[in-house]
């Protein structure tokens, strides 16, 4: 996992005001630029930020820095859109999206909400797994509920997950 230690800079990019529009985190503060990378039909894309207070990079990790900083623009990992007045509305996380080899976007939060609680499973996580054809495939990691017979608990959880996914 990549650490998140950053060289000392502020990460504040917007300025919420009293009476701000619900759902908006506000306009960019003076000196900061915001833009949306590859917006979809509704104007939603990854939020990029650039300015003197945007992080300079990860401490002693040039590779991680190169992944998130491009020409001075920080790829925040947030999905959002700018409204007609330049206010930023954050709608989710870009990294919680799996893009399949066919180009389909799978939003993990939406899929997890649709899947809901699964009998016999104490917790689960949907993840993107590299697909040799390009993009990613959807993977599911699960922890069966505690039971005396761990094998039976695992098998019951596996069956419940198959039914929940196919249903």
Q: What is the pLDDT of residues 127-167, one digit of tens each?
A: 888 888 888 888 999 999 999 999 999 999 999 999 998 87
More confident residue, 15 or 131: 131
Question: H or E element: which one contains 150?
Answer: helix 150-166
Instruction: Report residue 38's pLDDT band, with 50, 70 and 90 as the boundaries.
Output: very high
Nearest to 24 by CA among 91, 89, 93: 89
Whole-number percent of the chain with pLDDT over 90: 41
Radius of gyration of the chain measured on its C-alpha atoms: 20
Tokens 């623009």 belong to residue = 73
A 10 A CB-CB count for 10 gives 12
Q: CB–CB of 110/77 below 8 Å? A: no
Structure tokens at 113: 């909400």
Instruction: Report residue 7's pLDDT band, with 50, 70 and 90 as the boundaries.
Output: very low
Mean pLDDT of the chain: 83
Q: How far apart are CA 35 and CA 28, in angstroms?
A: 10
Is pLDDT of 2 > 70? no
Determine how β-strand 24-28 pairs with β-strand 88-93: antiparallel
Question: H or E element: which one contains 160?
Answer: helix 150-166
Is pLDDT of 22 > 80? no
Residue 22 main-chain phi, psi, to 5 deg = -55, 140
Is pLDDT of 42 > 90? yes
Report in angstroms the alpha-carbon separations of 117 from 92, 121, 124, 128, 161: 21, 8, 9, 20, 10
Residue 32 main-chain phi, psi, to 5 deg = -110, 135
More confident residue, 21 or 28: 28
Is pLDDT of 21 > 50? yes
This prediction has a pTM of 0.54
């Amino acid at each position: 996992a990549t650490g998140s230690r950053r060289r000392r800079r502020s990460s504040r990019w917007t300025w919420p005001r009293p009476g701000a529009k619900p759902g908006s985190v506000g306009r960019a503060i003076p000196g900061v630029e915001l833009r949306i990378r590859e917006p979809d039909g509704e104007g939603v894309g990854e939020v990029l930020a650039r300015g003197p207070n945007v992080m300079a990079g990860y401490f002693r990790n040039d590779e991680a820095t190169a992944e998130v900083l491009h020409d001075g623009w920080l790829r925040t990992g947030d999905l959002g859109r700018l409204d007609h007045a330049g206010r930023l509305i954050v709608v989710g996380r870009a990294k919680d999206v799996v893009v399949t080899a066919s180009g389909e976007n799978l939003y993990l939060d939406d899929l997890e909400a649709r899947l809901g609680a699964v009998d016999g499973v104490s917790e689960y996580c949907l993840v993107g797994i590299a697909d040799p054809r390009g993009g990613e495939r959807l993977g599911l990691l699960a922890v069966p509920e505690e039971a005396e017979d761990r094998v039976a608990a695992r098998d019951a959880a596996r069956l419940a997950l198959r039914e929940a996914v196919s249903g």
